[in-house]
Every structure is written in structure tokens, then in C-alpha cells.
Amino acid sequence: MLIHRRNVLQTSLVLYFLLSYDGVQGEMKLSKLEELALEKQLKLLNKPAVKTIKTGWGVTYDCVDFYQQLAFDHPALKNHNFHPEMKPTLSTIKQISSTSTIDISSRKVLENGGCPSGTVPIKRVTRDDLIRQRRMPPPENTNNILETTGGYRRAIVHTPNDPNNKFAGAGMVASIWNPYVEGQQNSVCRLKIQKGQDSMQVGWRVDPALYGNNHTMLFIHFQAGNTHCFNTLCPGFVIVNNDIYLDSEFEHITHRGDDQQWEFVMYIDRDLANGNWWLLIGANQTAVGFWPPGIFTALANDFATNIEWGGVTYTPPGAPYPAMGSSFFPDQYQPNPSLDAYCRGLIVLDDKGVTTNANNTPIFIDSRYLYHVTDEPNWGPGQFPHYMFYGGPETKYVPPL
């Protein structure tokens, strides 16, 4: 078994299974030692539940006492002073407008009355989850050498490359799709905020290795140096909202040619008072939780220098490249929101917390044979009119770079 990343949190085994990677597909047989380690891992991840809720699609969430959530197993958060009523103190994000023809998909609230006050909903991790995640690829990293076949491929727009950039956050509204993937492939639409090796992401993804199905799921991800983690699978992200849950399945998916597009509204906003990086979702900018600055290195006491909006795929070496977005190339001259996947309302927050339209956004595409991007900074109505369209079909052959 190849270990791509070593666990830098010496106090737990949490990242061991997440950062292990086995490229061989098929059933995995575990030794007795591995089985014992797996059972110990499950006990570390699954905290005692005050209440348990099973969703309509069969996923179990535990309502865990706020102070018992896994985030506080992080060594940097041992002496925290966080509490369940925390909210961003200096959020100055201006709302991205929507029209009556566009419906915002925001049903991420738990059934059965949700979690009680003082608890937070956390998806229960199963043995199968941990075994699948041993085959997950290494994290997306702009410093990785591009593989000739397989690996990550991006179709994005981004802020200009300038080490002097200072961003306190960003946001977007993304149309929700369900591109087909299989095996270790994944297809993602995401907002990414980064400085050096540190980054935060939010968006939707289709990822059988992570979720065990081909559904479109809400996800978050952070990387701090060599440590990386999805959702709440390791210490780091502090949940404060007891009604909204991560890892959740989107109820509505956009279908090509429909008059109505289903969307997901997302922001990452740095609290200028204390440096916490807040995740806000939905048209009303509902606070879900935050990444404390203490878990980072480059972002510990500083602003981000790079923002990305758009699509990313992964495929193992030698396998076909999966579809991205709507599974079609966006029209270069006449993009259409009912036909093409898009991210719109692209905004950035400067180091004073002022929100502006992201006007200057170079396009980056790893391979134009695979995926396309059409960037339209002033295409839409309202104060933040920036649209970017992206996507492409599944590719059965290996194209040149």
C-alpha cells in the first residue's frame, strides 16, 4: 500500500485512512491488525450521539454535542474558546442577486426536527467508507506534475497571479449537475481559496470513492501544508449550525434544456476580527461553520492570494476522462445557462472586506481537448454580472496535452 501523505496530527489516526491510496481496484482484504486499526478509527471519528437521524436516502447523521465534535481533536484547537452560538462578526458580503426564473436549491435541513440546540449534525462514518477512502487519490495541488494520462484536469477562471494579492473571501452561484463518473473518477464544481499549500474549497462533487455512489453531493475540503481533509472526516472544520448538514445529497439537479436551473449559493468569508474562515451557503448567507486560522500555515495570519472558480475532474492513469459540468462543451460564442454548466456572480472580498465583481479572471485549462471554458465577466444582470461556463463530455481516448 502506498502512503501519499503522512499523518501530521500525531494525537490520532484520523488522516491515516484518508491519506492512504491503493490504485488497485476490486475487493480489499484486511489483516487482523488492519481490522483492529479500522475499528479504532471508527471510534475516533464517530463521537457519542445525543440524537440520531436517518435521511430519506439512507444516510445516518449523529447529533453530537458541539464541544465533542471531531474538530476539537486538532492539537491547535485544544484550548479553544468557541461556542455553539458563534457567528461571523464582520461579514460584509453583498448578496448575489437572483431572478425569478432561477431557483436556489437550499434544502439542506435535516428531517425529524433536526438536531437539538447545542449539538451539530455529523455524518456517521462506516467501515465501508474507510475502506473506499483508502483508494482515494492524493489531493488536487497546483504544484503536482501533470500526469501524461490520468490525474487532475481543471477548467477554471482565477484571479491574476500576484503574490501581493490580499483576498478575505470569495463567492459564487453554481448550477448543479450530475456528470457520469465511475470507479476512482470524480467530477467537481468548486470555489477554491488558496495561499501556498493552504486552501479551502466548497462546491458539489460526484465521487464514488468518497461517497459510495454517483449522486451529486455538497462537499468542503481544506489543505494545510501536507494535511488535507474532506468534510468532517478529520479535525479542523468547526460546525456551528445544528440544522444544515455537510456531505448531503442535492435534491434537485439541472437537466439540459430545462427552463429552470437549480443552483447552489456559496461563500467563504474571513472574519476580519479573528481570522476565522467562515462557510456561508444559500441566498441568505447562512453560516454553517468555519476553519480556524490555527489549523493553517500560510493562511494562519494572512489573506488568500488566489481564487479559482470552475470545474475539476480526476481519473486514474490509463482510464477515460470523466464528463464535467453538463457533460457538453459550452458554446464559445453563445453560451446558454439552460444548456451549459456555469458559475455566476463571481465575487471577491478585499482585505477590508469590500465585495467586488471579479472582472479580471484569466482562463486556465489543462487540456483544451478535454474541457472548455467561456468567460463572460459582464454577461449577466445586476451588480455582480460575471458568468463563466465550463464543461465537456466523457473522453474514451487519451488526448495530447
Whether residue 248 contacts residue 234, with contact meaning beta carbons closer than 8 Å, is answered with: no
Check whether 129 has a pLDDT greater than 70.
Answer: yes
Q: What is the pLDDT of residues 204-250, one digit of tens each?
A: 999 999 999 999 999 999 999 888 999 999 999 999 999 888 888 99
Percent of the residues in the chain that have a pLDDT greater than 70, as a whole number: 84
More confident residue, 252 or 156: 156
Query: Average of pLDDT values for 107-118?
Result: 72
More confident residue, 30 or 114: 114
- pLDDT for the residue 110: 57
The band of 294, judged by pLDDT with boundaries at 50, 70 and 90, is very high
Whether residue 364 contacts residue 158, with contact meaning beta carbons closer than 8 Å, is answered with: yes
Whether residue 244 contacts residue 207, with contact meaning beta carbons closer than 8 Å, is answered with: no
Whether residue 272 contacts residue 168, with contact meaning beta carbons closer than 8 Å, is answered with: yes
Cβ–Cβ contacts within 10 Å for residue 253, how many?
Answer: 16
Residues 6+ apart with CB under 8 A from 12: 44, 73, 235
- pLDDT for the residue 9: 43
Cα 219 from Cα 203, distance rounded (Å):
6
Taking the mean position of all CA atoms in its chain, how far away is CA 330?
Answer: 23
Q: CA-based Rg of the chain, rounded to a whole angstrom?
A: 20
More confident residue, 61 or 260: 61
| Three-class SS state of 203 | strand
**DSSP code for 241:** -
Residues 6+ apart with CB under 8 A from 215: 57, 178, 206, 249, 250
The band of 70, judged by pLDDT with boundaries at 50, 70 and 90, is very high
Dihedral (Cα; 160, 163, 165, 168), 10-degree rounding: 110
Any bridge partners for residue 101, and if so which?
none
Where are the chain's structural domains?
87-112+146-392
- How high is the mean pLDDT of the chain? 86
Cα 326 from Cα 258, distance rounded (Å):
12
- pLDDT for the residue 147: 55
Whether residue 346 contacts residue 356, with contact meaning beta carbons closer than 8 Å, is answered with: no
All three cell numbers of 163, joined, read 503574490
- pLDDT for the residue 381: 87
Query: Which H or E run contains 388?
Result: strand 387-392
Whether residue 23 contacts residue 135, with contact meaning beta carbons closer than 8 Å, is answered with: yes
Query: Which H or E run contains 36?
Result: helix 32-45
CA separation, residue 142 to residues 21, 108, 146 (Å): 19, 31, 9
Find the angle CA(161)-CA(167)-CA(170) to the nearest 5 degrees.
100
| Three-class SS state of 254 | coil
Cα 254 from Cα 251, distance rounded (Å):
10
- pLDDT for the residue 46: 96
Check whether 101 has a pLDDT greater than 90.
Answer: no
Cβ–Cβ contacts within 10 Å for residue 54, how many?
Answer: 13
Kindly report the length of the chain.
Answer: 401
Any bridge partners for residue 134, and if so which?
none
Whether residue 280 contacts residue 360, with contact meaning beta carbons closer than 8 Å, is answered with: no
Query: Average of pLDDT values for 38-61?
Result: 90
